[in-house]
Structure 1
Amino acid sequence: RVCVKKSSQERFALKILLDRPKARNEVRLHMMCATHPNIVQIIEVYANSVQFPHESSPRARLLIVMEMMEGGELFHRISQHRHFTEKQASQVTKQATLALQHCHSLNIAHRDLKPENLLFKDNSLDAPVKLCDFGFAKVDQGDLMTPQFTPYYVAPQKEKSGIIPTSPTPYTYNKSCDLWSLGVIIYVMLCGYPPFYSKHHSRTIPKDMRKKIMTGSFEFPEEEWSQISEMAKDIVRKLLKVKPEERLTIEGVLDHPWLNSTEALDNILPSAQLMMDKAMVAGIQQAHAEQLANMRIQDLKVSLKPLHSVNNPILRKRKLLGTKPKDGVYIHDPENGSNDSNVALEKLRDVIAQCILPQAGKGENEDEKLNEVMQEAWKYNRECKLLRDTLQSFSWNGRGFTDKVDRLKLAEIVKQVIEEQTNSHDSQ
């Protein structure tokens, strides 16, 4: 949203979040980092009760006033350039890396580094690039886990002097996640398509693309890469290492010859032409966002549970598919919950399972399945205001969604509903 300062008519960006601990943590970490010239500045933060037109009553919200970034997102900017050069890509990379270096120096992992979160200040040729959106940022205390649930080190320490200490080992998985993302962004800036490219376009990452990511299998096809420098290829190779500890550190990126070259590097990149295809750009962004979500696996302790009490989304979805009778109503397993509140949470978890798992059937069938599990969740959670507002914003008519649903976004909000319901139940 755009807001205007009345006294000066200066334009600012306004971000509005529900006033929750997660939102306050986002603001806190963003403000810690926002003094850097390559990070979007926060001007003011207000905690107010705000009622939107579709709401029946006001809700506690945070209103975050930030500097306006008139130049737009990275990939959109590249698509507007007919002559986007390798030198320009190098300059963008350096500014993004400096922003990350500042975050990491405060022991904050951004964890959502993607093209949409790199914005240009204005439309001038030398406009600075700035990092935004700290919604997934996290203090890196050294006890965070890799996707294989293997900790690099465990050394949680207390906060002091505005810098959050960590152990002597320089990079945990989460900081290294930022560097992997940087490698992907560099690759796409240079050629116009992602490194682990799959010919099969779909809403989720295809199996062949997923395998390439996990094994680090990517190439530099001659057609687009023949005119791109070896220095650029080298920095990509060193950032897209499968093992996080083998990737370049942030200092290694800043010291790399590609970011410090005195060569002209004025070769025009093919990416600008390819990025004019909005559908392709959307596909790149979706795949990158999903991989980031996979990398943000939370710290988990391994324990065995009775099968009936497991909340694993894969098992939940298989159970849903296996317990659906002819009349289309899902059967509730009484062992899964002893009262209505447990049943209500189970139904919400079913929605998340349907949203986040790869879709097995055709689009229409999957939409029908989502509508069915959402109906069940709504039946047991009608009193939840957050869910009611969410469904209204997603064009829910009581029986189904009338518009296309961003499933990852819906899953994230339903997760918040579960947390709210759980906290409410615990307090009672």
Structure 2
Amino acid sequence: MSDDNNGDKFIKESSILEEYNINWTQKLGAGISGPVRVCVKKSTQERLALKILIDRPKARNEVRLHMMCADHPNIVQILEVYANSVQFPHESSSRARLLIVMEMMEGGELFHRISQHRHFTEKMASQVTKQVRDGMLKISTSLNSCHPHPLLLLFSQDAPVKLCDFGFAKIDQGDLMTPQFTPYYVAPQVLEAQRRHQKEKSGIIPTSPTPYTYNKSCDLWSLGVIIYVMLCGYPPFYSKHHSRTIPKDMRKKIMTGSFDFPEDEWSQISEMAKDIVRKLLKVKPEERLTIEGVLAHPWLNCTEALDNVLPSAQMMMDKAVVAGIQQAHAEQLANMRIQDLNVSLKPLNSVNNPILRKRKLLGPKPSDGFFIHDPENGGEDSNVALEKLRDVIAQCILPQAGQCENEDEKLNEVMHEAWRFNRDCKLLRDGLQGLSWDGRTFSDKVDRLKLAEIVKQAIEEKTNLQEAH
């Protein structure tokens, strides 16, 4: 499949509705490209996953790259691809789209799977890492490709983890210049590429004839972040100030590789695990562990039991925590399909959870293609009121950097901002009343996870109301 157009020969021009029934109201989640839905093959009644992309060269490239790797047991299989006209409710006419039928991953997303294990051990984390490593190795050898963000990691039912979503994949010829990334997982080289690109664009520095580039070593950095989160339940780089862009303190930590292993969560975790994290989170690419180094690392080849139960499992048992971490890792990616020269950052507190959306099927079928009452991209989330609510969730569930004596003050501050924009939400009013909220501050000590759950429910209610209109 080395020919650039080789993936196109698998694309069918016939209507997908001839062979599949599509459940437009049920979403499995969201990848980089938008919501993933359920479809059923008519001839076998097999449930499968359906991803829809606008039919354009970048989308066809995504399909082509995915197909080049889809024969690997740790990469989600593409079964069929259709080129059809589809009209969504906010559109005045149908548009050419690719409808990609993939195997159903019934086991769910990685961090959701961890939350279901009451005794998720270090050995289990090591086994998951091996599977991710094997998938990355296939991508690296087949495509020579770079993913400067965490791939979507999914489980089939009672089966290995598989990698999915090739929306940001680029063939690495040593000249990857445009930064596309997810903030909690971004490597220092990607931030540096972004910084230089912005300065050149603004005329602050002259455009270099040999641009600053980044390469596949960024994948290994992201793998280090994924391992860290699996082991303790939160990312190694975060900020006490939650905003729409990466705050300066968080950017500085990433650029200098400043992170630690807090005693409360890491005291029972092996030195081997800490060692692989340290070696993957090296700022200089040449010092970072290579994929071959990962293959040979003792933590992944250890014969010891490593049966210590990880704190991440306990942390992720709480719905609010699971939602927050899952959003940072996966749902957020729905908002990250950006043009090469238009970089924008979407941190945890500005993402939406498309799994929770429910819409009804309405409207007639047009003559050219088909019409469904369901917006294509569940990631359209510029609503300030919702952003303020997500700030509260982020403040509740992320560990706070530095000294924590003013945590209550900061929580009051972000809650007051959210309250200003959401006074009309009865669900929020009723929930806050039970937490002694007086409109400006909490008079009693707040159960942060309970508050996060209340706010999460308010977000769901407001989102559903918006979609109904």
TM over 0.5: yes
Residue of structure 2 in register with 1:119 after alignment = 154
The answer to whether the 8 Å contact 2:245/2:345 transfers is no
Aligned partner of residue 131 in structure 2, secondary structure: helix
The answer to whether the 8 Å contact 1:118/1:131 transfers is yes
1:218 to 247, 256, 259: 259
The answer to whether the 8 Å contact 1:73/1:119 transfers is yes
Deviations 1:364-400 (A, max 9, x none): xxxxxxxxxxxxxxxxxxxxxxxxx98997789xxx9
Residue of structure 2 in register with 1:414 after alignment = none
Deviations 1:72-131 (A, max 9, x none): 00111111111000000000000001000001102332415437x100011x2xx21000
The answer to whether the 8 Å contact 2:78/2:103 transfers is yes
Aligned partner of residue 79 in structure 2, secondary structure: strand
The answer to whether the 8 Å contact 1:149/1:299 transfers is no
How far 1:55 moved relative to its partner?
3.0
Partner amino acid, structure 1, of 2:222: S
Deviations 1:4-28 (A, max 9, x none): 1111111110001110111011001
1:260 to 286, 301, 304: 301
2:168 to 132, 136, 143: 136
Deviations 1:301-344 (A, max 9, x none): xxxxxxxxxxxxxxxxxxxxxxxxxxxxxxxxxxxxxxxxxxxx
How far 1:274 moved relative to its partner?
1.3
Q: 1:22 to 1:278 in 2, by over 3 A?
A: farther
**Distance in 2, Cα, partners of 1:289 & 1:4:** 24
| TM-score normalized with structure 1 length | 0.61
Q: 1:216 to 1:286 in 2, by over 3 A?
A: farther
The answer to whether the 8 Å contact 2:88/2:375 transfers is no
How far 1:275 moved relative to its partner?
1.8
Range with greater deviation from structure 2 (279-288 or 131-140): 279-288
Residue of structure 2 in register with 1:77 after alignment = 113
1:36 aligns with 2:72: yes
| TM-score normalized with structure 2 length | 0.56
**Distance in 1, Cα, partners of 2:259 & 2:378:** 39
**Distance in 1, Cα, partners of 2:95 & 2:337:** 29
**Distance in 2, Cα, partners of 1:208 & 1:25:** 36
Residue of structure 2 in register with 1:108 after alignment = 144
Q: 1:287 to 1:66 in 2, by over 3 A?
A: closer
The answer to whether the 8 Å contact 1:121/1:129 transfers is yes
Partner amino acid, structure 1, of 2:93: S
How far 1:206 moved relative to its partner?
3.0
Partner amino acid, structure 2, of 1:260: N
**Distance in 1, Cα, partners of 2:107 & 2:46:** 16
Aligned partner of residue 194 in structure 1, secondary structure: coil
1:231 aligns with 2:272: yes
**Distance in 2, Cα, partners of 1:62 & 1:69:** 20
Partner amino acid, structure 2, of 1:275: M
Aligned partner of residue 173 in structure 1, secondary structure: coil
Aligned partner of residue 216 in structure 2, secondary structure: helix
Deviations 1:32-79 (A, max 9, x none): 111111000000111111223443322101010000000000111111
How far 1:176 moved relative to its partner?
1.0
How far 1:196 moved relative to its partner?
2.0
Q: How does 1:379-418 map to 2 (within 5 A)?
A: 404=386
Aligned partner of residue 118 in structure 2, secondary structure: coil
Aligned partner of residue 193 in structure 1, secondary structure: coil
Structure 1: gaps spanning 5 or more residues: 151-171, 301-351, 364-388, 407-428
Aligned partner of residue 53 in structure 2, secondary structure: strand
Q: 1:113 to 1:74 in 2, by over 3 A?
A: farther
Structure possessing the higher relative contact order (Cα contacts under 8 Å, 6 or more residues apart):
2
Aligned partner of residue 174 in structure 1, secondary structure: coil
How many aligned residue pairs are there? 296
How far 1:288 moved relative to its partner?
6.4
**Distance in 2, Cα, partners of 1:183 & 1:14:** 30
The answer to whether the 8 Å contact 2:246/2:345 transfers is no
Q: 1:130 to 1:356 in 2, by over 3 A?
A: closer
Q: 1:288 to 1:177 in 2, by over 3 A?
A: farther
Aligned partner of residue 76 in structure 2, secondary structure: coil
Deviations 1:182-229 (A, max 9, x none): 000100100111112434444443322221111101111111111111
**Distance in 2, Cα, partners of 1:272 & 1:283:** 14
How far 1:251 moved relative to its partner?
1.2
**Distance in 2, Cα, partners of 1:266 & 1:114:** 26
**Distance in 2, Cα, partners of 1:299 & 1:60:** 22
Aligned partner of residue 84 in structure 2, secondary structure: strand
Structure 2: gaps spanning 5 or more residues: 1-36, 178-188, 195-212, 351-373, 389-469
**Distance in 2, Cα, partners of 1:87 & 1:199:** 31
Q: 1:209 to 1:26 in 2, by over 3 A?
A: same
**Distance in 2, Cα, partners of 1:82 & 1:299:** 42
The answer to whether the 8 Å contact 1:201/1:283 transfers is no
Q: 1:287 to 1:23 in 2, by over 3 A?
A: same
Residue of structure 1 in register with 2:285 after alignment = 244
The answer to whether the 8 Å contact 1:100/1:110 transfers is no
Partner amino acid, structure 2, of 1:61: R
**Distance in 2, Cα, partners of 1:55 & 1:291:** 24
**Distance in 1, Cα, partners of 2:332 & 2:261:** 21
Q: How does 1:305-384 map to 2 (within 5 A)?
A: 356=345
Partner amino acid, structure 1, of 2:56: R
